[in-house]
A and B are shown apart, each in its own frame.
Chain A
Amino acid sequence: MQEGDLLELKDLNVLRGSREVLKDVNFKLNYGEIVVLVGDNGSGKSTFIESCAGIVPFKNGELYFYEDEDSQNVIRNHEGRKSNIPKIGITLQKDGICGEETVEERILIASEKSSKNYDSDKLGQILSDWGLNHRKSDRVSLLSGGLKRRLSVICGLAPAILSPKPMTVLLDEPSVGLDKSARILFINWIRTLASRGHGIIIATHNNDVIKCADRIIKIEKKGKIKESIGKSEGVIVEMPTCNSSSNLTSIRHLTSWALKMEIRNPIDTVGRVTPALVALLLSFSIIEGNGPLSVDILSSLILLPAFITCIISPAIINRFNEAECGKWWHIMLGSKIRPISSFLGASMILPIPLTYLSWFILIGNKSDEYSYDTLFWLWLPPLSLITVGMASSALHFLVSDLRRSNSSAGSLLLIALIWPFLELSDALSILMTSGMSYSLSIQSPIIGCIIASVSSILIWIVVVYLPDY
């Protein structure tokens, strides 16, 4: 078996609030080793696991991963995250799975197999051994708590099972919710994985799991750790193997996941379109009930439904909040999660069609009263609104970082987006009265749209890149 270290925590100090949860921790995970973390509730076991995953800020210290014996990669230090972690398997305390995913989809994403090299037999065998194969096409939300937990555990183990190269596996309270037979299966599988060179860290209270440890780390009060030798129980059993390497979780995975979830349950689309249509109907009744309105007011009313779709909180945030699903993606994608999530959370498709719909409903057969260019260029202001949507999405994501984000008045921060909206309304009113102008003057609709987009993009850059700087 290969010798050496898979990961290292050096001089680590981690605070939770004002309490030092981990203090001067020095730890190395060796190839083929099972390390079990024990300690009282709130002692810092989950913090230890999350520190190894590189998602917890360090007061001091460093996290290294070793690609091979000679190369040491700094993942995180007290300044922040420096690079992405290599492929790992991870099971979070709250599963980390969105309820809309199917069992099969979840294990595919977790094992990071592309659809091209997807080996259905091997994944099917894993599901079958754990009693989940008959449920592989079912949504996770339909599973019982025990089956969800099994899925969560095998999603943590699957990357290692199907990897020809030893890797790190992190498991936070994997045995909670598992019945006795599943627990025995789990213990034997991790012993088998260890025999293949994979390094495994498990946080647990369960005595059966503790007995399978090669090394036990007790997290004491005041954050110090104490090591002891474990009993190394567990039997090596037959388990699927794989010779082909897997891909790292990428932006493409997250994008296709987000699209799939939305197609399956279009709460984002419905949640945006409904208030937009209400606003449109109200605008229509205002116009019908009054005499001719000024072009400035009309242009604002035309763009209003599209603006509303842009500032609504994205549904992907709710999906991420479900069972710590977002935390899993954050671990896998690292600092890329924020820009890509804010992009995915923005309303890309709705602004342009909604603006044209607004035009036809509010202006209708009075189009002749306005510039001929208007209909041809009507897509330009809502195209800029997409950048407003990105800024809005980024602000919603920033607020969602707070633990009790539902108790935060995040909409207060969106007031800043009134400015781009005013600029775009003005651009549209100029378009309606004077038509398109290709000059670079401030009166040109193109320049107005550019200014609106630039302000929104500046807001997006500040909100997306500052947290991970």
Chain B
Amino acid sequence: MVVTKGASLLFIIIGLVGASISILLGFLWVPSLDPSTVNGPESFRIIYWHVSFAWCSFLAFLLLFIGSIIWYLKKDEIGWRFFSVGSDMGLLFGMGVITSGPIWGSVAWGKPWDWGDLRLNSFALLTSVALFLVLARRAQQDTNQTRDTLSIVGLFGFSLVPITAMATTWYQKQHPPIIVVSSEETGLPSDMLFVLILSFISFCFIFVGFSIITDRIHQLELKMENNQKNLDEGWLN
């Protein structure tokens, strides 16, 4: 137990330190963009954490999806653990993406939301599904029936990804963008790329640390509930 706590704390500290360094480098070391080429040239520095948040939420949603499938098909406890951690992490990092993304979009492109952007819309939908799952897990008794229903909601969330892909493709055809902007994936300068990779690795450490502790908390909650039931039965006897 102490080992788990210590290991996860180490991961989190390393991750936070790395992430903090990436902000400092991003603000102080990487030069600004040319103001004549973009709106709100300083706002691009959101990228260093925004992309890492997006990557971590992708990992979390993947964990949620794998957990949903495993529980749905096999009713295996490991599936439920993946599911629980995935939904908590998905909510945390998803919230970061859908708050920082529109802020960036409102400055850089003049509109906070783009219905034609597959990633933004998918993350928003999956984050709302994750929010539902986190709230439902706290409000409901932990029974197999609850787990079955929630794992189906998890799978429903994933069925939305291809549906959203279809819908955003249609939307882009109906509403072609007026200004073509270069995304962060095309031709990044090397210094920006370096800070981005540093941030990404740091966030992986944070993700692992958070996941270990979150899983530990879920296991302890289960243990506490079993202890409570034993105490209840002992009192009745």
Decide if B27 is an interface residue (CB 8 Å cutoff).
no
Interface contact B164-A419, CB-CB below 8 Å: yes
A-side contacts of B149, CB under 8 Å: 398-399, 401-402, 467
Q: A80 — nearest CB in chain B belongs to which residue? A: B148
Given A401-B149, A413-B128, A426-B174, A455:B166 Cβ within 8 A:
yes
Q: Are A463 and B152 in contact (CB under 8 A)?
A: yes
> For the complex, what is the distance from the CA of A459 to the CA of B167, rounded to whole Å?
13
Question: B146's contact among A395, A403, A413, A462, by CB below 8 Å, is which?
Answer: A403
The proximity string for B residues 124-167 relative to A, scoring 1 for CB distances below 8 Å and 0 otherwise, is 11001101100110011111111011101101100110011011
Contact residues in B for A413 (Cβ distance below 8 Å)? 128-129, 132, 153, 156
Minimum C-beta distance from B91 to chain A (A): 11
B222 within 8 Å of A (CB atoms): yes
Whole-angstrom distance from the CB of A173 to the nearest CB of chain B?
Answer: 20
Cβ B132 vs Cβ A410 within 8 A: yes
A59 to B166, CA, bound (A): 38
**In contact, A402 and B174 (Cβ under 8 angstroms):** no
Cross-chain contact A423 with B145 (CB below 8 angstroms): no
The residue from A409, A419, A458, A462 contacting B131, defined by CB atoms under 8 A apart: A409
Interface 9-residue window, one of A11-19, A97-105, A224-232 = A11-19
Contact A466 B156 (CB under 8 A): yes
Question: How many B residues, CB 8 Å from partner?
Answer: 41
Output the least CB separation between A345 and chain B (Å): 17
B171 at the interface (CB under 8 A from A): yes
| Chain A interface bracket (under 10, 10 to 19, 20 to 34, 35 or more) | 35 or more
Annotate A435-450 by CB proximity to B: 1 below 8 A, 0 otherwise: 0000000110000000
Shortest CB–CB separation between residue B165 and chain A, in angstroms? 11
Q: A403-B140, A415-B125 are in contact. Are A462 and B159 (CB under 8 A)?
A: yes
Chain A, Cβ-Cβ closest to B77: A18
A452-469 interface code vs B (CB 8 A; 1 in, 0 out):
000100110011001100
Residues from chain A with a CB closer than 8 A to the CB of B226 are 18
Asked if A16 contacts B153 (CB within 8 A), the reply is: no
Contact A17 B132 (CB under 8 A): no
Interface centre among B150, B155, B160 (most CB of A within 10 A): B160
Measured CB to CB, the closest approach of chain B to A66, in angstroms, equals: 28
- Residues on the A chain within 8 Å of B171, using CB: 422
Q: Is A57's beta carbon under 8 Å from chain B?
A: yes
Residues from chain A with Cβ under 8 Å of B139 in the complex: 404, 407-408
Q: Are A408 and B159 in contact (CB under 8 A)?
A: no
**Contact of A18 with B222 in the complex, beta carbons under 8 Å:** yes
A467-B166 contact given A18-B226, A442-B173, CB 8 Å threshold: no
B115 at interface (Cβ–Cβ under 8 A)? yes
Q: Is A412 an interface residue (CB 8 A)?
A: yes
Residue from the list B115, B129, B142, B164 in contact with A17, Cβ < 8 A: B142
A242 at the interface (CB under 8 A from B): no
B218 at the interface (CB under 8 A from A): no
Q: Nearest Cβ distance between residue B167 and chain A, in whole angstroms?
A: 4
Interface centre among A15, A408, A426 (most CB of B within 10 A): A408
Any chain B CB within 8 A of the CB of A416? yes
A398-B152, A398-B153, A398-B156 in contact; A57/B131 too (CB < 8 A)? Answer: no
23 contacts between A and B (CB under 8 A): A16-B144, A17-B143, A18-B142, A18-B226, A19-B229, A59-B75, A402-B140, A402-B146, A403-B143, A404-B140, A408-B135, A409-B131, A413-B132, A413-B153, A413-B156, A422-B115, A442-B170, A451-B166, A459-B160, A462-B155, A466-B155, A466-B156, A467-B148
Give the B-binding residues of A (Cβ under 8 A).
Answer: 15-19, 57, 59, 221, 395, 398-399, 401-404, 407-410, 412-413, 415-416, 419, 422-423, 426, 442-443, 451, 455, 458-459, 462-463, 466-467
Beyond A403-B145, A408-B135, A415-B125, list 18 extra A-B contacts (CB 8 Å): A15-B144, A16-B143, A17-B144, A18-B142, A18-B226, A19-B229, A399-B149, A401-B149, A403-B141, A408-B136, A408-B139, A409-B131, A413-B132, A422-B115, A422-B167, A451-B167, A458-B159, A466-B152
